[in-house]
Amino acid sequence: MEYTGAEIILECLKEQGVDTIFGYPGGAVIPLYDALVSYEEDFFHVLTCHEQGAVHAADGFARSTGKPGVCFATSGPGATNTVTGIATAYMDSVPLVVFTGQVPQSLLGRDSFQEIDITAVTFPITKYNYLVKRVEDLPQIIREAFDIATSGRRGPVLIDIPKDIFTTKMDYIMAGVFKHEEKPAMPDKNLLLEAVKAIDESVRPVIYAGGGVVHGDGEKELFHLATKASIPVANTLMALGAFPMSNPLSLGLVGMHGHKKTNLAVTKSDLIIAIGARFSDRVIGSKDKFAPKAKIIHIDIDSSEIGKNKEVHFPLEGCVKDILKYLTEKVLQKDSRQWLKEIEALEDKNPYTSEDFTPENILAAAQKILGKNTIIVTEVGQHQMWAAQYCKVDDPRRFLTSGGLGTMGYGLGASMGAQVGNPDKRVLHVAGDGSFRMNCNELATVSKYKLPITTLLFNNNSLGMVRQWQGLFQDERYSQTTLTDDVDYMKLVEAYGLKGKQAETMEQLEEALKAAAASTDKATIIECKIDKDIGVFPIVPPGMPIDNMLLE
């Protein structure tokens, strides 16, 4: 049967099981949006306010559901507006397929209206990208794109389509999902057995779990290995929830803002088992002083990550899930009570529990009132680190944050995607005033689609994290980090038809959270006014060893 290029795209998306698209129309994609009218029953299209919001939403959808996120944008500025979102997904290995329109082929290379070479722009931030030159190539390219985005180390793929391709007709045959079945080979057996021996002989082992555990669906296998061999688990920002934080073996966040006992445990460790983690500078600080006494096992599906930032003794390249399963079968059952006791003693005991209006108490109240099943989505800055330190996350895909790129403005869009993909769950959007201002235009989308997101807006009238660095490392020379209080967030929120509440005490906050929890079709923005001098601690000065923490 004959279809236009635009119809073929939509047929291929159906083939891939896609039912949700985030996007924004424009000149070059008019034929695609025209075809979409006939596919209304097949796709839920979320019209955002800006293409950046659309990509972040597709990203939040993908991270929270495990399915690839799909996004449409037009040529030129529409395409360049997707760049930050694509780079965010690339750095955190999130599977996206982004379709951009392009000027007709007859106008390519002539600096035509809204022409940009988006494939060249996105070479370094996509796992792969395509400029479609023949309509006949479309089905294969789309099938390949989904396969690339969702296999191996996940990542975004961009398909740039000239306008004339959308309208050209061809015979299309449905082909089903193309997925290469090849499983990555297991590492050499001798190396695996050496790693098993190292685990068995270790007295102070620590698992350092990264986002690859979640992307590789290896949470259960991680749990089995950690519990069988009694190994404490430290996690990166990307792996919050990969191991239940309520488990006594959980050490929580490691690195620049890691917990004191976690950073010290890693430093004292004699064996680090890095799983789907990339030894980022924000985690390891000074690379030579990270776990200086430890042998290192590194399990990763991406060969280019192994040995990239830190020398490794046991490089185990392959599927995280399969390797963990193998190791779990072979390692001895152990009891490391002594080591765990030693770690516990590393944390300062603070018998004073305050009921003050602090970030820790605010986040605890939000989790308590909204429920354990809530998906937490953050922006980037101090509030992000408070959320990472204080939120108790027991399940994977429940804590979404821009870890690698650190994209301020990520959170609201990603919250929309998470809520659309998980209508049965609550979404808690944790924001700072700096990040919130970046993409708060998306409140119109939140309002339009009646998404009952709860935003906790930590308002300290400043760009808190940068201000904190200026205070600590620039001799308190505060430069351009004060935002003043010239925005009335309650009026702003009202203008979008949403509910706004202000809280300056725990009582006010709890009341606002209860009202938010009761709302099923309207977002609530709760502005929490906090002091600009509240910092994120511990903090490791950049480039320093992670046991060199400033605690206050």
Residues that bind other proteins (CB under 8 A): 119-120, 123-124, 128, 131, 144, 148, 152, 302-304, 307-308
Q: How far is the CB of 96 from other proteins (least distance, A)?
A: 16
Cα gap 547→549, rounded to integer Å = 6
**Would you say how long the chain is, in residues?**
552
Among 91, 408, 438, 465, the active-site one is: 465
CB neighbourhood size of 474 (10 A) = 12
Closer of 152 and 252 to other proteins (Cβ): 152
Closer of 119 and 269 to other proteins (Cβ): 119
Closer of 152 and 545 to other proteins (Cβ): 152
Among 11, 51, 305, 442, the active-site one is: 51
Nearest alpha-carbon partner for 389 in 347, 423, 421? 347
Q: How far is the CB of 113 from other proteins (least distance, A)?
A: 24
228 is catalytic: no
Closer of 306 and 369 to other proteins (Cβ): 306
Q: How far is CA 132 from CA 110, 239, 404, in A?
A: 18, 36, 30
Backbone dihedral region for residue 454 (phi beyond 0: left; psi -120 to 50: alpha; all else: beta):
beta
Give 469-482 as a 3 state SS string.
HHHHHCCCCCCCCE
Cα gap 404→274, rounded to integer Å = 17
Among 52, 61, 146, 163, the active-site one is: 163
Closer of 121 and 369 to other proteins (Cβ): 121
Q: Residue 325 corresponds to which amino acid?
A: K
Q: Cβ distance 328 to 230 under 8 Å?
A: no
Cα gap 66→255, rounded to integer Å = 26
Q: How far is the CB of 149 from other proteins (least distance, A)?
A: 11
Closer of 169 and 308 to other proteins (Cβ): 308
Q: Cβ distance 455 to 444 under 8 Å?
A: no
Q: How far is the CB of 308 from other proteins (least distance, A)?
A: 6
Among 105, 114, 502, 508, the active-site one is: 114
Closer of 98 and 369 to other proteins (Cβ): 98
SS3 6: helix
DSSP characters for 191-219?
Answer: HHHHHHHHHHH-SSEEEEE-HHHHHTT-H
91 is catalytic: no
Q: Cβ distance 506 to 436 under 8 Å?
A: no
Tokens 């990542």 locate to: 155
What interhelical angle do 51-65 and 410-421 show, nearest 10?
Answer: 50
114 is catalytic: yes
Among 44, 113, 123, 473, the active-site one is: 113
Q: How far is the CB of 316 from other proteins (least distance, A)?
A: 15
Q: How far is the CB of 181 from other proteins (least distance, A)?
A: 17
389 is catalytic: no
DSSP characters for 323-376?
Answer: HHHHHHHHSPP---HHHHHHHHTTSPP------SS-HHHHHHHHHHHH-TTPEE
290 is catalytic: no
Q: How far is the CB of 303 from other proteins (least distance, A)?
A: 5
- Active site (catalytic) residues: 51, 113-114, 163, 465
